[in-house]
């Protein structure tokens, strides 16, 4: 099986915090983008749709200037409305196959798999570009999130032809073990956005991808 890696999905995957102040959000994202992430997700679980539209459009402008693709959490409608590069869907966010049909082939589709292998298989079949497992560690953002075993990352890398994302409680310190286990993307909120220097913290993730061997068992 060939891995579908057209979007270059490998590296730090920044996910925005629930920030209600647009000016603060823009400043935080602008700083973190200086750390050279592979991908950025606009996620806000608290604001109404209209405010999320405004914020997502502002974040898209920053991502375009930085040359970083933007994925929108939860909503294909919002992703298409602002012209984002993709969407991330969890179990309550609609059918991935229907999303793929609406997005076409050029946009990124990611799906949450939690600790469930069957969701990853189904997501890959439905046309996802990446499957996301987690929480890998205790998450400050989502303390009640189910924990996923490290082994799922390697299995997904070996058996599915899509990129593998890890999320939940990821820090610069635990990043190398996730990359070594098979993660292509490390999705991070708190460790970067709560850092005193988000640009420096984001930059520090580069080392995990340089040091971590690309797992040998790549499907052909």
Ligand X SMILES: Cc1ncsc1CCOP(=O)(O)O
Residue 145 interacts, among Mg ion, ligand LCLJCK34, ligand X, none and using kind-specific CB cut-offs from 5 to 8 Å, with ligand X
Site for ligand LCLJCK34 in 5-34 (CB under 6 A): 13, 15
Site for ligand X in 50-109 (CB under 6 A): none
Q: Taking the complex as a whole, how short is the minimal distance between the CB of residue 96 and ligand LCLJCK34, in angstroms? A: 11
Contacts from 28-32 at CB under 8 Å and sequence distance 24+? 28/193, 28/198, 29/59, 29/62, 30/62, 31/197, 31/198, 31/199, 32/192, 32/193, 32/198, 32/199, 32/202
Among 78, 108, 120, 188, binds ligand X (CB under 6 A): 188
- The answer to whether 190 is a known ligand-binding residue is yes
Strands 86-89 and 70-73: parallel
142 catalytic, yes or no?
Answer: yes
Strands 70-73 and 130-134: unpaired
Site for ligand LCLJCK34 in 136-195 (CB under 6 A): 165, 167, 187
49 contact partners, CB below 8 Å, separation of at least 6: 75, 78
Among 38, 135, 162, 181, binds ligand X (CB under 6 A): 135
Site for ligand X in 156-185 (CB under 6 A): 167-170
- The answer to whether 176 is a known ligand-binding residue is no
Q: Are 184 and 125 in contact (CB under 8 A)?
A: no
CB atoms within 10 A of CB 1: 12
- The answer to whether 93 is a known ligand-binding residue is yes
- The answer to whether 169 is a known ligand-binding residue is yes
C-alpha–C-alpha distance, residues 20 and 44, integer Å? 9
98 contact partners, CB below 8 Å, separation of at least 6: none
The smaller minimum CB distance to Mg ion, of residues 37 and 96, is found at 96
Catalytic residues: 43, 112, 142
Residues that bind ligand LCLJCK34 (CB under 6 A): 13, 15, 41, 43, 45, 73-74, 88, 90, 93, 110, 112, 132, 165, 167, 187
Binding residues for Mg(2+): 74, 93
């Amino acid at each position: 099986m060939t891995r579908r890696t057209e979007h270059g999905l490998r590296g730090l995957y920044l996910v925005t915090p629930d920030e209600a102040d647009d000016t603060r959000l823009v400043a935080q994202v602008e700083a973190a983008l200086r750390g050279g992430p592979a991908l950025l997700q606009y996620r806000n679980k608290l604001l109404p749709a209209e405010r999320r539209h405004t914020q997502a459009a502002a974040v898209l402008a920053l991502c375009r200037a930085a040359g970083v693709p933007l994925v929108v959490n939860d909503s294909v409608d919002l992703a298409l409305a602002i012209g984002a590069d993709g969407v991330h869907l969890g179990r309550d966010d609609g059918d991935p196959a229907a999303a793929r049909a609406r997005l076409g082939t050029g946009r990124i589709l990611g799906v949450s798999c939690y600790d469930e292998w069957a969701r990853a298989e189904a997501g890959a079949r439905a046309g996802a570009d990446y499957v996301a497992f987690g929480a890998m560690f205790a998450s400050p953002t989502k303390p009640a999130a189910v924990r996923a075993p490290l082994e799922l990352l390697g299995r997904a890398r070996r058996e599915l032809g899509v990129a593998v994302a890890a999320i939940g409680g990821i820090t610069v310190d635990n990043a190398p073990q996730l990359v070594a286990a098979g993660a292509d993307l490390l999705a991070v909120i708190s460790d970067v956005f709560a850092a005193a220097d988000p640009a420096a913290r984001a930059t520090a993730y580069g080392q995990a991808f340089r040091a971590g061997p690309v797992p040998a068992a790549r499907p052909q």
